[in-house]
């Protein structure tokens, strides 16, 4: 929980603004793919077609915005989005209104092109629709995997050169896989009443730091 958001806030330390989202997509492909592999039998396949269709529509629409966006603004956009999603009740209420898997797929995958980690829209809806925890984890992993594949496809089409970041991608993919393995063993030992406030505080501090750092670099 929060791993994708933490990653997207750390990547500006290692890659150019234009590479943040595509590198994030490949890393999360490894993360979600490995998590799905451990829970494949629990996947609720009947929910996939509507979400997949929404994802295709979402990335098609949002890709038009992506090619016109100044890449220097991407870290600013990410930081502002995360701060609003963490602290604005109005934004939180707005996100909670999307109860359709087509709409959630379009927003989750489409917004992911611009902000990398658009928040747990699909997970929130899955918790309302599915009673089994393993089914939620497996289906959410597949949803995210679909979004990652859609994003990577868009960046390949527009000419992003993933090969230039091969060493970074190797490190992040290995780290994501190791993190999934380690997190699975540690999460049962951390109480939720401690874990979630810590994650929210960490994300807030990192978002503020990226916001001010990016503003300084953009204005200078």
Using one digit for the tens of pLDDT, what is the confidence trace for 72-116? Answer: 676 677 677 778 777 887 876 776 665 688 988 888 888 778 766
- What pTM does this model have? 0.71
pLDDT at 96: 64
**Average pLDDT of the residues of the chain:** 81
Contact assessment for residue 112 and residue 151, using Cβ atoms and an 8 Å cutoff: yes
- Per-residue model confidence (pLDDT) at position 17: 83
Rounded Cα distance, 172 and 142, in Å = 20
Contact between 143 and 108 (Cβ < 8 Å) = yes
Predicted confidence band of residue 1 (pLDDT cuts 50, 70, 90)? low
Min mean pLDDT across 20-29, 90-99, 143-152 is at 90-99
Q: Give the model's pLDDT for residue 118.
A: 65
Q: What is the pLDDT of residue 21?
A: 87
Q: Which residues lie below 8 Å from residue 95, measured CB to CB, with a gap of 6+?
A: 85, 119, 121, 124
Lowest mean pLDDT, pick from 54-58, 96-100, 149-153: 96-100
Q: How distant, in Å, are the alpha carbons of 2, 142, 152, 176, 190 from that of 31?
A: 13, 11, 14, 5, 21
Q: Determine the pLDDT at residue 71.
A: 63
User: d(Cα 136, Cα 154) in Å, to the nearest integer?
Assistant: 27
Which DSSP symbol is given to 97? T
pLDDT for the residue 149:
92
Q: What is the pLDDT of residues 183-211, one digit of tens each?
A: 777 766 777 677 668 767 877 887 787 78
């Amino acid at each position: 929980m929060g791993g994708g958001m933490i990653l997207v806030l750390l990547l500006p330390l290692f890659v150019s603004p234009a590479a943040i989202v595509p590198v994030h997509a490949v890393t999360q492909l490894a993360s979600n793919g490995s998590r799905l592999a451990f829970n494949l039998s629990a996947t609720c396949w009947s929910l996939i077609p509507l979400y997949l269709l929404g994802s295709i529509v979402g990335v098609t629409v949002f890709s038009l915005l992506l090619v016109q966006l100044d890449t220097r603004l991407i870290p600013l956009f990410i930081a502002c989005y995360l701060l609003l999603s963490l602290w604005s009740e109005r934004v939180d209420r707005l996100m909670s209104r999307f109860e359709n898997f087509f709409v959630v797929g379009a927003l989750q995958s489409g917004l992911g092109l611009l902000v990398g980690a658009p928040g747990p829209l699909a997970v929130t809806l899955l918790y309302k629709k599915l009673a089994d925890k393993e089914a939620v984890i497996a289906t959410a992993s597949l949803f995210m995997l679909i979004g990652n594949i859609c994003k990577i496809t868009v960046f390949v089409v527009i000419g992003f050169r993933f090969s230039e970041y091969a060493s970074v991608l190797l490190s992040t993919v290995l780290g994501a896989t190791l993190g999934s393995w380690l997190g699975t063993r540690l999460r049962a030992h951390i109480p939720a009443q401690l874990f979630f406030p810590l994650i929210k505080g960490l994300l807030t501090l990192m978002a503020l730091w990226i916001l001010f750092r990016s503003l300084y670099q953009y204005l200078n």
